[in-house]
Amino acid sequence: MVAQNNHVVFAAMREQLWSDLETTCDVVLDGDDHTAAVVARDRLPGLVAGLRALLAQHTPDANGHCRQCRVGRWWHRTPVPCRVLLEFRLARDHMVDRRPRHRLRRH
């Protein structure tokens, strides 16, 4: 019963987070300049704080292995960046490449 309740709670939390992220991106990318600035100032610090907390868990140990992503036997691990850091970097770089160029206003 507890596991099922946890599943429901975590699913609701994930759904709310995905919805918040999608809404924020939509407004910031497609909204007018004033609305985008207001939403970015309101939500961006919280998103950055959450991302920092997540990434802080994925730091390497003395041997260069991610402390959070330890998988398999210690003698089979190779000192490479963890999957979370790689996925974050790829997603961020992909989004930077896709964002529209800021239109210069002519006065």
Measured distance CA(48)–CA(21) in Å, rounded: 12
Q: What distance in Å separates the CA atoms of residue 70 and residue 19, rounded to the nearest whole number? A: 30
E strand or H helix at 95, and its extent?
A: helix 83-98
Average pLDDT on 6-23 reads 91
Residue 24 — very low, low, confident or very high, per pLDDT cuts 50/70/90?
Answer: very high
pLDDT at residue 72, rounded to an integer: 64
Domain spans in the chain, listed from the N-terminal domain onward: 1-56, 60-107
The mean pLDDT value of the chain amounts to 81
66 DSSP assignment: B
pTM of the model: 0.67
